[in-house]
Structure 1
Amino acid sequence: MRAAVFTGHGEPLAVREVDEPEPDETGVVVETEACGICRSDWHAWQGDPLWESRGFSEGHVFGHEPAGVVVDVGDEVETVREGDRVAVPFNLADGTCPSCRRDMSNLCDERIPLGLAPESPGAFAERFHVPWADFNAVHLPDGISPVEMAGLGCRFMSSFHGLVDRADVNGGDWVAVHGCGGVGLSAVHIADALGANVVAVDLFDEKLSLAADLGAVETVNAERVDDVPAAVTAVTDGGADVSVDALGIAETCRNSVRCLRKRGQHLQIGLTSSAEGGEVALPTDLMVAKELQFVGTVGMPRPHYDDIFRMIDHGKLDPTAIVSETVSLERAPELLDAMTDFETTGIPVIDEF
């Protein structure tokens, strides 16, 4: 089968023939209909802090925002059949550990990040394997397309879990979103759906324009103001109730903390690059003086898909609004490289394999 494979950190992916996956006893093989190209793939490709010790070898396949059709089923699988249309959480979970039993499957003790671990080849390929399929294979409701589901991948799910489950967003709150890539635009759309007033911050007018289309009531071009936190504080009449770092660089993280009002919450979704090395210095005294909270979020517990599906069904969310383009597998290397200089807008999705 064809796949876009790793050839070295920072080196272009190569589209070539690779071995077909086979299901283990608890797993299924899914034929990929769509897969998002995510900045987390970029981080892993670059060898950034969270992945620097993973030891990806040549031929590894990234891709962790897929949807597709089940084509092969392991002997012990009970609830998934050939022909089922499914999506897959990027944090693959066993469904039985203490974390899974406490509705924290995104933090499973045995979790394997699809495409982001050497033992789990991902979905930049015609087909991919899903372990523990009875838990991880999410049946798609009628009417949700593969591209729409790919748009609900890592970025949208992490934003949804962060804003709905981890932060305390209420109707009328001010929510600032720093960085309007796929994660940030997802956060803008979700916060608007929750009834918040959203301020979007970015360097690019094109991304800010899309953020406005998705519900941001105010935008701040960080290149045109001397002090981003002061600009956000002025717009929100005292500071944001919740502020999101959707990028993961030191500047956006600190700006997010500094633009909060008293007892505000900072939500960290963006992961750092090699420049930060996994750590960012923070205004700790300010956090104490204003009783601020710093909250992390990653992925989304498997059972919470139904919450998103209901909001889509009732017209509250539209993940396709954030999908910027659909492309062939051959363009995956080009679009991954474009993320180096933040040249992509929205969520690009592979739908031709």
Structure 2
Amino acid sequence: MRAAVLEEHGEPLSIEDVDAPDPDPNGAVVDVEACGVCRSDWHGWQGDWGWLGIETQPGQILGHEPAGTVVAVGEEVTGVSEGDHVAVPFNLGDGTCPECRRGFSNTCENVMPLGFVEFVQGAFAEQVHVPFADHNLVELPEGVSSVDMAGLGCRFMTSFHALAHRADISAGDWVSVHGVGGVGLSAVHIADALGANVIAVDLDDGKLETARELGAAETVNAADADNVPGEVKAIADGGADISMDALGIQTTSANSIQSLGTRGQHLQVGLTTEDEQGMIQVPSDAMVMQEIEFIGSFGMPPTRYDEIFRMVSTGKLRPEAVVSETIALEDVSDTLAAMTDYETDGIPVIDDF
């Protein structure tokens, strides 16, 4: 099968013919019909996250937002069949650890980050193997396309879990989203669907216009603002109720926290780069005095995807609205390079392998 293979960090991926996977006894093989290209792939391509123990190595197939059709299952698989149309979460769980048994498989004690470590090769390929298929694969509703659902395995569901499960959103709350790439635009759309008033913050007018189309009530161009938190507080009558750093750099994290009002909630969704290496300074005194909560949020348990699907069925959520373009496998390296300078918009999706 054809796959885009990492040869050297920051260098173009090699399009190669590699062996197609066979299913483990508990696994399944999915014919990849679409796969999003995510900023997390950019992190892997850059060689980030060694401080998390998941630095990608040469030979790795990246890609962690696939949707497609099951073409083979292992002998121990009972809940998944050939022909099922599925999405694949990026944070694969084993289904048996205490976290998984409590319903928190996104924080599985043996989490397997799809496409970032050798034993779970990714989906920038014609096929991908998914371990513990009964636990990890999510059957898609009838009538949806793989391209429309490609961001579901990471960016869209990550934003949904953060806003719907980790934060306390009430109707009319002010939610500010700092950085409106794929995660941020998904967050804007989801927060609007949950009844919030959304303020989108970014450096790019084009991305801010897309955020308005997806439901942002107000926007702030951080390149033009002398004081981003001050701008957000002025709009939100004293401060946002909930704020999200969807990028993962010092500036956006600090701006997000400082945009909050008293007893606000900061959602840290973006993971850091080589510059921060997992350590970001926070305004701790202000957080103490304002009783601000700092909340981390990672992925989403696949058992709760039905919440998204119910909102999709009524038109309240449209994951396809965040898909910005479709590309071929040969275009992945150029797309990753464009992410270095934040030149991509929304979710680019591979649909030609």
Alignment partners' CA distance in 1, 2:116 and 2:241: 33
Alignment partners' CA distance in 2, 1:119 and 1:111: 12
Alignment partners' CA distance in 2, 1:23 and 1:309: 28
Residue matched to 2:292:
292
Residue matched to 1:238:
238
Question: 1:198-217 deviations in whole A, cap 9, x for unaligned?
Answer: 00000000000000000000
- Find the residue that maps to 1:67 and give its secondary structure: strand
Residue matched to 1:102:
102
TM-score, L = length of structure 2: 0.98
Taking a change above 3 Å as real, the CA distance of residues 10 and 51 of structure 1, as seen in their structure-2 partners, is farther
1:233 is matched by which residue type in structure 2?
A: K
Is this contact kept in 1: 2:49–2:55, CA < 8 A? Answer: no
Shift of 1:144: 1.4
Alignment partners' CA distance in 2, 1:167 and 1:55: 30
Alignment partners' CA distance in 1, 2:293 and 2:48: 26
Alignment partners' CA distance in 1, 2:55 and 2:132: 24
Residue matched to 1:58:
58
Alignment partners' CA distance in 1, 2:179 and 2:56: 28
Shift of 1:152: 1.6
Residue matched to 2:267:
267
Residue matched to 2:328:
328
2:157 is matched by which residue type in structure 1?
A: M
Residue matched to 2:114:
114
1:95 is matched by which residue type in structure 2?
A: G
Equivalent residues in 2 for 1:63-142, closer than 5 Å: 63-142=63-142
Question: 1:232-282 deviations in whole A, cap 9, x for unaligned?
Answer: 000111000000000001000000000100000000011111111110111
Q: Aligned pair count?
A: 353
Instruction: Give the stretch that moved more between structures: 51-60 or 74-83.
Output: 51-60
Alignment partners' CA distance in 2, 1:171 and 1:186: 18
Residue matched to 2:176:
176
Residue matched to 1:38:
38
Residue matched to 2:201:
201
- Find the residue that maps to 2:117 and give its secondary structure: coil
Q: Which runs of 4+ in 1 moved over 6 A?
A: none
Is this contact kept in 2: 1:50–1:278, CA < 8 A? Answer: no
Alignment partners' CA distance in 2, 1:216 and 1:185: 9
Is this contact kept in 2: 1:178–1:256, CA < 8 A? Answer: yes
Equivalent residues in 2 for 1:295-306, closer than 5 Å: 295-306=295-306
Identity level (%): 61
Residue matched to 2:248:
248
Alignment partners' CA distance in 1, 2:11 and 2:51: 16
Question: 1:62-114 deviations in whole A, cap 9, x for unaligned?
Answer: 00000111111111111111111111111111112110111101011111011
Residue matched to 2:186:
186
Alignment partners' CA distance in 1, 2:17 and 2:310: 39
Alignment partners' CA distance in 2, 1:52 and 1:174: 33
Unaligned runs of 5+ in 1: none
Shift of 1:49: 2.8
1:255 is matched by which residue type in structure 2?
A: N
Alignment partners' CA distance in 1, 2:246 and 2:204: 15
Question: 1:114-157 deviations in whole A, cap 9, x for unaligned?
Answer: 11222110000000100101111111110111011102231111
- Find the residue that maps to 2:152 and give its secondary structure: coil
- Find the residue that maps to 1:164 and give its secondary structure: helix
Alignment partners' CA distance in 2, 1:24 and 1:212: 45
- Find the residue that maps to 1:152 and give its secondary structure: helix
2:259 is matched by which residue type in structure 1?
A: C
- Find the residue that maps to 1:345 and give its secondary structure: coil
Unaligned runs of 5+ in 2: none
Is this contact kept in 2: 1:55–1:118, CA < 8 A? Answer: no
Alignment partners' CA distance in 2, 1:239 and 1:52: 33
- Find the residue that maps to 1:216 and give its secondary structure: coil
Alignment partners' CA distance in 1, 2:55 and 2:308: 34
Is this contact kept in 2: 1:65–1:90, CA < 8 A? Answer: yes
Residue matched to 1:149:
149
Please report the RMSD computed on the Cα atoms of aligned residues, expressed in angstroms.
1.0
Instruction: Give the stretch that moved more between structures: 225-234 or 109-118.
Output: 109-118
1:295 is matched by which residue type in structure 2?
A: I
